[in-house]
Amino acid sequence: MRPSGQLPLTGLLFFSLIPSQLCQICVVNETNFWRLEPLINTMLNANYTKGTLGLNVLLTLRLVGIKNQSLEQQLSQQIKEDINSGEMELTSGELALGILGLGACENQDEEFIRGARLVSKLEAKFQAEIQNMEAHDGNPLTNYYQLSLALLALCLFNGSYSVTSVTCYFTPENKNYYFGDQFSVDTGAMAVLALTCVQKNTQKNMDMNAEGKISNYVASLANKIQAERKQGLFGNIFSTGEAMQALFVSSDYYKNEANCRETLRAVFDNISRGAFYLPITAAQILPALMGKTYLDVTNPSCGLNPVKFNTSTEKPGTVTPTTAPLNILVKYSVRINKTSHTEVTVRKGSVFLDVMKAAQEKNETLFRFTVEETSWGPYITSVQGIKASNNDRTYWKLLSNGQPLSQGAGSHVVQNGDNLEVRWSKY
């Protein structure tokens, strides 16, 4: 295949995904747009201190057709600076999101993608992921969510990838779709989008055997996603948006109007409760609610019809409490081979990370930790000097009262009497 840097980015893959898709997609109608305004305001009013924090947001603004020129320019510039920075090495998934956001809907950033040879760089990162799997028992450098994002961006922007590698490593039984015994819905959903693109990419001359395998993979992963449905959601509220995108292009699930109504009710309820207060969570749920998928990024009509929302550009003010904040007492433990316990007092309204900091102040030897800022918020990278490792499939699991958190360390609000735990785990 010709190197991606030699190809124009306009008019790359104008493929018709599914003939019935436009009339069957489960979308929010105009009378319910007001329910989505909290998502829009979350994205518009966030503080984006670096480009990686705005990767999903730029993609969604352009894909959905939300016009905010100043924010779009800010995010675009920050992403370009992060990509050009010698100090910051983007992962395969981050670079893929950067390409998707910068290249969405035929805009002037396409010139930067060509000039910086971003697709070629992503090809190298994707190949490095494959090589790491070959050398380390099938484990990628990052994870399968990022690997699928990279494949999706390469497919949409005409990059090189091996169909043989795709059929080998994206089989639905692959362990990387699971955390322990739990199927990862957002990982499976991103793989469905990537594999659907590969399947529809007429520029790849696939033999019937490979095409049949990929078709079976898509169907199997879609079934696994549907098996994780609980009260209209898939996995949890944060994986539901990408699951909806995957089901739009791979199954008949949303041809049933009752399924659509149940999902929308559950999502609206969570929006009203403030579940999507992180920009990335708002950005990931919104495209599906507007009938868009990431496969629409290179569609020539992408973003041509801007959506009108009532938006607020005022940031929430600081409210001075009328009484002194209350303190709460929680139990905290770190489990590796043995368990270290302590009790700490934190302010009411504190998050899991605040408890970890308080425990570290009491005993740095037992409770020291390191954290990395990501677009999802803080990610715990090590405890007691022991680092999480993709090659070893190890990570630090966060639990509250024996249950894994559905939110991160910087988001989960703790309650008085909670029993919190950080556990060294394999997936």
Residue 144 is assigned to a ligand binding site? yes
**Looking at the structure, do residues 356 and 292 belong to the same domain, yes or no?**
no
**Looking at the structure, do residues 102 and 49 belong to the same domain, yes or no?**
yes
Residue at 322 is within a domain: no
Residue 152 is assigned to a ligand binding site? no
Give the whole-angstrom CA distance, residue 253 versus residue 223: 10
Residue 294 is assigned to a ligand binding site? no
- Model pLDDT, residue 24: 56
**Looking at the structure, do residues 291 and 334 belong to the same domain, yes or no?**
no
**Looking at the structure, do residues 292 and 331 belong to the same domain, yes or no?**
no
Q: Which residues make Cβ contacts (< 8 Å) with residue 184, sequence separation at least 6?
A: 144, 145, 177, 178, 235, 239
Number of domains present in the structure of the chain: 2
- Model pLDDT, residue 88: 67
Residue 39 is assigned to a ligand binding site? no
Q: Which residues make Cβ contacts (< 8 Å) with residue 137, sequence separation at least 6?
A: none
**Looking at the structure, do residues 268 and 407 belong to the same domain, yes or no?**
no
Q: Which domain holds residue 130?
A: 4-296
| Separate counts of helices (H) and strands (E) for the chain | 16, 12
Please give the distance of CA 12 from its chain centroid, rounded to a whole number.
24
Q: What does pTM read for this prediction?
A: 0.83
**Looking at the structure, do residues 291 and 381 belong to the same domain, yes or no?**
no
**Looking at the structure, do residues 131 and 219 belong to the same domain, yes or no?**
yes
Contact 79, 55 (CB under 8 A): yes
Exposed (0-12), middle (13-18) or buried (19+): which is 153, by Cβ within 10 Å? buried
Give the whole-angstrom CA distance, residue 43 versus residue 157: 26
Residue 142 is assigned to a ligand binding site? yes
- Going by C-alpha positions, the residue among 311, 313, 365, 372 that lies closest to residue 342 is 365
Query: Please, which contacts does 125-133 make with residues 24 or more away whose CB atoms are closer than 8 Å?
Result: 125/91, 125/92, 125/95, 125/150, 126/92, 126/150, 126/151, 126/154, 126/159, 126/161, 128/92, 129/92, 130/162, 130/165, 130/169, 132/391, 133/169
pLDDT in tens, the chain (427 residues): 333 333 333 333 333 343 334 445 799 998 999 999 999 999 999 999 888 889 999 999 999 999 899 999 999 999 999 998 865 688 999 999 999 999 999 899 999 999 999 999 999 999 999 999 999 999 999 999 999 999 999 999 999 999 999 999 999 999 999 987 889 999 999 999 999 999 988 666 788 899 999 999 999 999 999 999 999 999 999 999 999 999 999 999 998 999 999 999 999 999 999 889 889 999 999 999 999 999 999 987 776 777 777 766 554 444 444 455 689 999 999 999 899 999 999 998 888 999 999 999 999 999 999 998 776 678 899 999 999 888 888 999 999 999 988 778 887 889 999 999 999 998 8
Beta-strand pair 327-335/419-426:
parallel
- Model pLDDT, residue 7: 31
**Looking at the structure, do residues 286 and 331 belong to the same domain, yes or no?**
no
Give the whole-angstrom CA distance, residue 158 versus residue 139: 26
In a 3-state reduction of DSSP, which class is residue 400? strand
Give the whole-angstrom CA distance, residue 412 versus residue 322: 25
Residue at 313 is within a domain: no
**Looking at the structure, do residues 351 and 227 belong to the same domain, yes or no?**
no
DSSP 209-264: HHHHHHHHHHHHHHHHHHHTEETTEESSHHHHHHHHHHHHHH-SGGGSHHHHHHHH
The alpha carbon torsion through 34, 39, 40, 43 (nearest 10 deg) reads 170
- Going by C-alpha positions, the residue among 336, 331, 341, 333 that lies closest to residue 416 is 331
- Model pLDDT, residue 25: 77
CA 203, 209, 212, 214 torsion-angle sign? negative
Residue 221 main-chain phi, psi, to 5 deg: -65, -40
Residue 169 is assigned to a ligand binding site? no
Residue 177 is assigned to a ligand binding site? no
Domain end position, chosen among 296, 316, 340: 296
Give the whole-angstrom CA distance, residue 194 versus residue 246: 9
Q: Please report, for the domain that includes residue 350, its CATH number.
A: 2.170.130.30
pLDDT, tens digit, 9 for 90 and up, residues 50-100: 888 899 999 999 999 998 999 999 999 999 999 988 656 889 999 999 999
In a 3-state reduction of DSSP, which class is residue 52? helix
Give the whole-angstrom CA distance, residue 116 versus residue 147: 21
Residue at 311 is within a domain: no
Residue 143 is assigned to a ligand binding site? yes
Residue 48 is assigned to a ligand binding site? no
- Model pLDDT, residue 313: 52
DSSP 8-state secondary structure symbol assigned to residue 26: -
**Looking at the structure, do residues 176 and 250 belong to the same domain, yes or no?**
yes
Beta-strand pair 369-374/386-387:
unpaired
**Looking at the structure, do residues 274 and 343 belong to the same domain, yes or no?**
no
Please give the distance of CA 245 from its chain centroid, rounded to a whole number.
12
In a 3-state reduction of DSSP, which class is residue 415? coil
DSSP 8-state secondary structure symbol assigned to residue 407: S
